[in-house]
Amino acid sequence: MTMNTVPVNHPPIHVLNEVESRKILKEYAVPHNKSAFAKTKEETIQEADKMEFPVVLKVVSPLIVHKSDFGGVQINLQNIQEVEEAFDLIYENAKKRGVVSNGIEGVIVQEMIEGKEEILVGIKRDPIFGPVLVVGLGGVFVELLKDVSLGIAPLEENEILNMLKKLKAYPLLNGYRGKEKLDIDALVQLCKKVVDMAIREDGILEMDLNPVILREEGKGAIAVDARIVLQ
Ligand code: ADP
Ligand code: MG
């Protein structure tokens, strides 16, 4: 067997898009921002109209996993006109990168969440250890510095807090040099819900909430992107 061969008895995997992944977050009361799926520009406008501005528009396509790499995420849209322009831009960007419009299912319209840090919260199911929680700060901390903490489920709140404290970047969450303290408690609660969900839903092979937006103390931690892989 070569390195890239998938063993014949490997179970089929199924990647859920952001819309589908959010349904599971809702079931388990994992905090996430308000959103709606829209198939056309008209539906997009209707849905945006029901939300508080600014809003965000994102492409929904089985061919696109990392939406922003495709110019598929348009943030900070202040009014309906900007929403219409963003809708067109998302389709144009996808086309430029070779995704035809029938490869796009539609867009997700959602409220924009202002916060202080972007956090990665993930689950990887290990064949031996079961669900493993992965947490770290987003951006360069994950990509360049590999600053993440791992913990095997089940995990209590205090264990999750200790995982966060092990991050090199932890001081950035906890009021480093006069910066505001962020809502670490809310982040711990969110992680706890994610772990409990992974224990109960053994069909979940992988999950990425990237990012969870972390706000000041008392203001919460809210997932704004979700990707779940089922086995
Ligand atoms: P992807 O990871 O597929 O490229 P995301 O949904 O994570 O797409 O969006 C990319 C970035 O856009 C996020 O890291 C975040 O900075 C920003 N973003 C996305 N959705 C929101 C939102 N609802 N509120 C605020 N910022 C957002
Ligand atoms: Mg993301």
Q: What is the per-residue pLDDT across 172-202, written as a single tens digit (0 to 9) for each?
A: 999 999 899 999 999 999 999 999 999 999 9
DSSP lists the bridge partners of residue 106 as 60
* Closest C-alpha to ligand 1, atom 23: 112
DSSP lists the bridge partners of residue 208 as 122, 227
**DSSP conformation class of 182:** B
Are 207 and 190 in contact by the 8 Å Cβ rule? The answer is: no
* Domain final residue, candidates 95, 111, 127: 111
Are 137 and 118 in contact by the 8 Å Cβ rule? The answer is: yes
- Quote the pLDDT of residue 11: 63
User: Which CA distances in Å does 94 have to 67, 171, 183?
Assistant: 10, 39, 36
Same domain, 132 and 59: no
Atom of ligand 1 nearest to the CA of 73: 9
Residues in the ligand 1 pocket, defined by CB under 6 Å? 33, 56, 58, 66-68, 73, 75, 110, 112-113, 118, 210-211, 224-225
Protein residues near ligand 2, an ion, with CB under 5 A? 210, 225
Q: What is the Å distance from ligand 1's center to 55 Cα?
A: 11
Same domain, 125 and 186: yes
* Domain final residue, candidates 76, 111, 146: 111
The answer to whether residue 149 is domain-embedded is yes
By most ligand atoms within 8 Å of CB, the mutation choice from 19, 52, 56 for ligand 1 is 56
Q: What is the CATH number of the domain that holds 164?
A: 3.30.470.20
ipTM for the predicted complex comes to 0.99
Same domain, 138 and 226: yes
First to last CA, the chain: 22
Range of the domain at 175: 115-230
- Quote the pLDDT of residue 1: 40
The model's confidence at residue 101, banded by pLDDT at 50, 70 and 90, is confident
Same domain, 126 and 103: no
pTM, entire model: 0.94
DSSP lists the bridge partners of residue 156 as none
Q: What is the CATH number of the domain that holds 56?
A: 3.30.1490.20
Question: Closest ligand to 90 CA?
Answer: 1
